[in-house]
Amino acid sequence: FPSHDNPADVKVIKKIGEEGVLCMLSDCLGVSKDGGSVPESVLGPTFNKVMAENVGRQIMLTVISSNLARMHQIIDAAKKHNRKVVLAGRSIEQTVKIGMELGYLPFKKEDFVSEREAYKQPQGNLLYMIAGCFGQVGSALDRVSKNEHDDISLEKNALIIFSAEPSPPGVDVEVLLLVFSSTV
């Protein structure tokens, strides 16, 4: 279920289907797996707990850049724990900008610190929302893990959170390689 909206109205969808839908296109990761999934809404309390348990620690949280509902929960949690959000990666920056312009992310510019200014801040006062949850080569997280990012450096004892399941085939291998390369 969405974290900020009502769940889909299955009865309405069924009625439309009975009226003779010619074609429906949908995209859903994990749809071919048996069982259900955990509701998106459980993540907000999880993000809050992680931040409460890691006061003063550098935190980088990677997320699928199209998931506005999850981004909303992440930014909410950061605000509750007096952390400014650093948007790291072009896709993350663009999605948040558009989400704010359209009113889906009701936050202020003051809630954020730019990548280029983040190094001036105490790292425990920031939350990096960073692109690269699928281990994409050249992503912000990939560059940070290799100490190749122009503006962001990993502190010793930094906490990196992957807030996405590596579902597409082969992605789990890329994520494991990224995690391994960041520990070497």
Q: Tell me the pLDDT of the chain (184 aa) as tens digits.
A: 345 556 677 888 788 888 887 776 665 656 666 766 667 777 788 899 999 999 999 999 888 888 888 899 999 999 999 999 999 988 999 999 999 999 999 999 999 999 999 999 999 999 999 988 776 777 888 888 888 888 888 888 898 888 876 555 555 555 455 554 444 4
The whole-number pLDDT of residue 145 equals 83
- Quote the CA–CA distance of 108 and 11 in Å, as a whole number: 38
The whole-number pLDDT of residue 177 equals 52
Radius of gyration of the CA atoms of the chain, in A: 18
The whole-number pLDDT of residue 7 equals 67
Chain mean position to CA 115: 16
The whole-number pLDDT of residue 166 equals 55
- Quote the CA–CA distance of 76 and 137 in Å, as a whole number: 29
The whole-number pLDDT of residue 41 equals 75
The whole-number pLDDT of residue 143 equals 84
The whole-number pLDDT of residue 6 equals 64
